[in-house]
Chain A
Amino acid sequence: MNNELRVINIGLGDFLSSLTEDGVPFADVDWKPPAQGDPELIDILFDLTAGFRDDNGESRIDAANQTGLRRILGAQPVVRRLLPAREFIADFEENVILHAGPHIEWEDMCGPMQGAIVGAVLYEGLAKDAGEAGRLLRKRSIVCQTTFSRGVVAPMAGVVSRSMPLFLAENETAGNVAYCPINEGIGHALRFGVHSKPVLDRLKWLEKELAPALDRALVSLGGVAIKPLMSQALLMGDEMHQRNVAASLAFYRSVAVELCDAADGTDDLKRIVSFMTSENEQFFLNLAMPAAKTAMDTARNIPYSTLITAMNRNGVDFGLHLSATGDRWFTTPSLYPKGLYFPGYGEADANPDMGDSAIVESYGIGGMALGAVPSVTNLIGAGNLMESLEFSYDMNHICIGRDPDLAIPNCDFAGTPAGIDIRRVVATGILPLIVSGVAHHLPGVGQVGTGIVTPPMEVMNKALRAFHSLVTA
């Protein structure tokens, strides 16, 4: 008897009896109503799944998403230079300060972002103190713009001014580039809203000493390919958002020899080596971010594609980009991260989720690759290692593919989930996981913890509705 049936069951378990008796292979779906049972969204999902077909019955949406996925997986980001922002961005005016996430006016910004902006104004010498900086910002003598508008990604407050050095990452496959400032380290830092003298002094040191030396090293190396470092770091237990220990050292190893020649004397070299190897375990995050952006930007503006191309937050709102809707922001208020707090701080101190850093999750690492990182089990509120693997496994439900070059050893070397399809997010109600630092909600206090957060469900629903209107128009 021919019995080539292979069955997926969605619904009554009773019907499985005959399959069991006959040894027919089946997979039983642990089912919940799609889109939390919302009839309008289900109709949209139905239309976006059954409809939009070419003459052969193939889905234009699926085809567009596959195109996007191929580009994302094919990206080969190389970090080539580290120069002041004004060198890359010719029209970066003196009175412009960039911030993370969707656009927000000075008055509406959260405390840490305001603190960071004031810091950047002081850093550029545009005001003599915080009071004057505030006045200039209120008058709009100093203007705030998004990092996104200048091709930059930056973590937390994401504040960038024209003198700050930026890494340039180039996607060798497609030729596109993205920029990111140097990571300042954990704790008291401009990106968490602190603009004390030590913070500003360190920024100056990064600009005057570390950046020129590291740039010379990068130039003499012809750039450092980032994806192979990511691949190694995953094997060593980094997910490259919350944990970058191995990746930072792997990057240092890549430049170490050239840095010896590039640095201005032994003392200078010692400070740089100390900063990169022992003071700042997050160094690599700011390389992973522009690398991820160069990959994700290649998936932008593909007609019919429902892939998420960026997730950025400004500390008040969560912003989302979809491929087919290009640079249109979908925003809703950000959520608060759940996490672990430094001694003396708690949830009441937290600022809502902030920063461009979720570009790494859009790409498939960070919170999307938690299975690679047994050490964050506690951080994400998982009771045990198995539960933390489940978080990672869940991410496959919302992605259309995996990156075989970014293998997760704990998941039997299955690649990191890649290509977040917003249809699947809305249908399953499973949201991308984002790991994030937690800033104090007041300016000047700094980082108070680290934790995990998701986009608000509503921003997903909103973007899906807008996509549907666009394709049905």
Chain B
Amino acid sequence: MKETPRPVHSLVLPGVYRDSVFLMKLSGRARERSGAARVTALMATSRNKDLLRQSGLLTRDIEAAGSDDLVVAIDAGSQPGKVVEKTVLDLLAKPPRALRTPLEQLAPRSLPMACERLEGANLAMISVAGEYAKYEAAQALSAGLDVFLYSDGLSLADELALKRLAAQKGLFVMGPDCGAAVVGGTPLGFANRMRPGTVGIVSTSATGLQEVGCLLDRCGLGISTAYGVGGRDMTDDIGGISSQTALERLARDPDTRFIVVIGTNPGGKTRRKLAGLYAGLGKPVLLRYIGTDEYGIEDAAGIPHADTLRDAVVMTAGRIASVLDMSDIDLPSAGAGQGAGALHGYISGLFSGLALCQESAQICRAPLPGAIYANVPVPGVDSISGQEPVRGHAFVDLGADGITMGAPHPLLYPERKLERIVRELCASEVSVVLTDVILGNAVAPDYAAHLVQALDRAAAASGGASRGKRVVVSVCGTEADTPSRSSQIDILRRSGVTVLGNNAAAARHAAALCLEGVAR
């Protein structure tokens, strides 16, 4: 062998011990990974030093090292010696990542441990009670994760602290009280399986997001990303911190070409701030602010708005494709002549989400004479808790904080909502029950069948009287949901439920039924 002796790099790590098997493996791995010619890591015992001497790898530093010292002799070959050294040090510092012991079966008991288990985690989904959720969310942000915060019941101060921290760290808090989002094509929370497409959504309300996303899906269009930002994000208390992050992310997202913003009761200051943002996104924005009739700020900024969620979809679709059959979003229309008869009573509107409830109250307010009540804020509509009986048309969001009071959301456990429907159908002053059927991830399965059973229970309890009343629904969902929207509609129609194509249409239909009653 006539090899020219090459320079040998050496590392001496005083007082660092590893066993010989470990060091042999490390040597091999370091050589493979760095492309060095030879890497030999050993404890510097006199025997090992002899071995190094024989193979021409003994340097003066290694010679001087003691038996407590870990030494590495490196013949770097064509590689820079420093690179090989770094490879060795990295391998030494890093324990093997994946636990191959039975310990990997153990569930992590804290967020930091979960992050260690799932390297590169980037989102925390938090749905524990609000008083605990705030701490978990703070931990997640601290660990550099975005947060999907389903929990409600956080104080405004805590929400603000979390959102400011997120903004400072370039992170994102969806929520609190965020029920739906679609990120990377995957529905989060209660979100539906929607077609991928070019529309980005920012919404303070889960059901608003779902209604728009599902109607777009029905037009054959789809969404890029849909962010829920939490019911209070657009209030002046919070000032739209998460809305701003959502808009910035959509502006950067190459898949997003159009943006729909759904806001419930946005504050004046925040509206001005957001109006300024919309104009600078470089992508067309369409607004649907629910609970307000006045769009002076946005009109001045040249940002268009829609009057219903359905219209927001039609207007957006119109921008994307000039020739598009959008008739499907109004289908199916109401079956004619069912349960004909005088309807002298009130509408009882029972909803699983804020946006659908609010929009229904807003739509019914104009045509209907007499008192209208809601447990969600709508101009011109009187405020109620949602629990008490009222003499008038009532619109109740059964998912609202004040009603769930820590009980599971009606989309997860619909029993209380169904009992309420039975009660309303048995009440003599109610002639129309207007309600939503919402499909999506984690939603209680086959809700339509349970609703039909509830109608039967109401008929039994009222001696058949409830059969003379109308149950008007729209089904928020897609064909890709399980169960599919059409399968749920079939079940409902077979039982005489009037199914409309979208939430706004259902509300109009209910109002029209009552007006007919008044006209008679």
Contact = CB atoms under 8 A, between A and B. Distances in A.
Nearest to B165: A50
Contacts of A12: 127, 150, 412, 442
Contact of A1 (B94, B106, B185): B185
A55 B162 CA distance: 16
B139 to A, nearest CB: 6
Contacts of A5: 122-123, 183-184, 186
Contact of B124 (A10, A51, A411, A424): A10
Interface in B171-218: 183-189, 191, 193, 196
Given A34-B132, A397-B109, A19 B103 contact: no
Contact of A8 (B111, B150, B185, B412): B111
Contact of B17 (A30, A232, A427): A232
Interface in B102-127: 102-103, 106-118, 120-127
A460 to B, nearest CB: 15
A161 interface: no
A170 B127 CA distance: 50
B296 interface: no
Contacts of B102: 386, 389
Given A53-B168, A62-B142, A228-B16, A411 B99 contact: yes
B356 to A, nearest CB: 21
Contacts of A397: 108-110, 112-113
A24 B142 CA distance: 22
A91 interface: no
Contacts of A50: 138, 141-142, 161-162, 165
Interface string A32-46: 111001010010011
B47 to A, nearest CB: 15
B161 A51 contact: yes
A37 B187 CA distance: 31
Contact of B94 (A19, A227, A404): A404
Contact of A19 (B96, B108, B186): B186
Interface string A342-359: 000000000000000000
A407 interface: yes
A33 B92 CA distance: 37
A6 interface: yes
B103 A427 contact: no
Interface string B316-359: 00000000000000000000000000000000000000000000
Given A4-B122, A29-B110, A57-B168, A235 B19 contact: yes
A472 interface: no
A8 B140 contact: yes
Contact of B15 (A1, A9, A172): A172
A19 B96 CA distance: 27
Contacts of A49: 135, 138-139, 142
A55 B504 CA distance: 47
Interface stretch (A126-134, A205-213, A328-336, A412-420): A412-420
Contacts of B100: 412
Interface string B142-154: 1001000011000
A15 B18 contact: no
A296 to B, nearest CB: 17
Contact of B108 (A29, A51, A56, A231): A29
Contacts of B186: 3, 5, 18-19, 22, 24
B77 interface: no
B185 A411 contact: no
A428 B442 contact: no
B158 interface: yes
Contacts of B22: 407, 413
A220 to B, nearest CB: 14
A389 B103 contact: yes
Q: From B17, B68, B106, B112, name the one whose CB has the most chain A CB atoms within 10 angstroms.
A: B17
Given A39-B131, A62-B142, A29 B95 contact: no
Contacts of A9: 124-125
B184 A389 contact: no
Interface in A52-71: 53, 56-57, 59, 62
A11 B114 contact: no
B128 A10 contact: yes
B439 to A, nearest CB: 12
Given A29-B109, A30-B107, A8 B114 contact: yes
B127 A411 contact: no
Contacts of A6: 118, 120-123
A172 B162 CA distance: 43
A360 B64 CA distance: 32
Interface in A424-438: 424, 427-428, 430
B441 interface: yes
B33 interface: no
Nearest to A33: B132
Contacts of A57: 165, 168-169
Contact of B442 (A15, A34, A46, A227): A15
A469 interface: no
Nearest to B171: A57
B316 to A, nearest CB: 21
A413 B92 CA distance: 11
B300 interface: no
A229 B117 CA distance: 30
Contacts of B158: 46
B134 interface: yes
A4 B123 CA distance: 10
Contacts of B128: 10-11, 31, 33
B213 to A, nearest CB: 14
Q: From B128, B132, B188, name the one whose CB has the most chain A CB atoms within 10 angstroms.
A: B132
Contacts of A28: 107, 114
A22 B185 contact: yes
B14 interface: yes
Nearest to A25: B118
A26 B107 CA distance: 12
A32 B126 CA distance: 13
A17 B442 contact: yes
Given A28-B107, A413-B95, A231 B18 contact: yes
A90 interface: no
Interface in A390-418: 390, 393-394, 396-397, 402, 404-405, 407, 410-415
A27 B117 contact: yes
Nearest to B440: A18
Nearest to A389: B103
B17 A227 contact: yes
Given A11-B125, A25-B118, A46 B134 contact: yes
Given A31-B136, A49-B139, A59-B142, 14 more contacts: A1-B184, A8-B114, A10-B126, A10-B128, A12-B150, A28-B114, A53-B165, A235-B19, A386-B102, A407-B18, A407-B95, A412-B103, A428-B110, A430-B109
Interface of B: 14-19, 22, 68, 92-96, 99-103, 106-118, 120-129, 131-136, 138-142, 145, 150-151, 158, 161-162, 165, 168-169, 183-189, 191, 193, 196, 255, 412, 441-442
The 3 A-B pairs with the shortest beta carbon distances in the complex, nearest first, are A11-B127, A57-B168, A228-B17
17 contacts: A3-B185, A8-B114, A15-B442, A27-B117, A28-B107, A28-B114, A29-B114, A30-B107, A31-B109, A49-B135, A49-B142, A50-B138, A172-B15, A228-B15, A397-B110, A411-B103, A427-B135
Interface of A: 1-12, 14-15, 17-19, 22, 24-34, 37, 39, 42, 45-46, 49-51, 53, 56-57, 59, 62, 76, 78, 172, 225, 227-229, 231-232, 235, 386, 389-390, 393-394, 396-397, 402, 404-405, 407, 410-415, 424, 427-428, 430
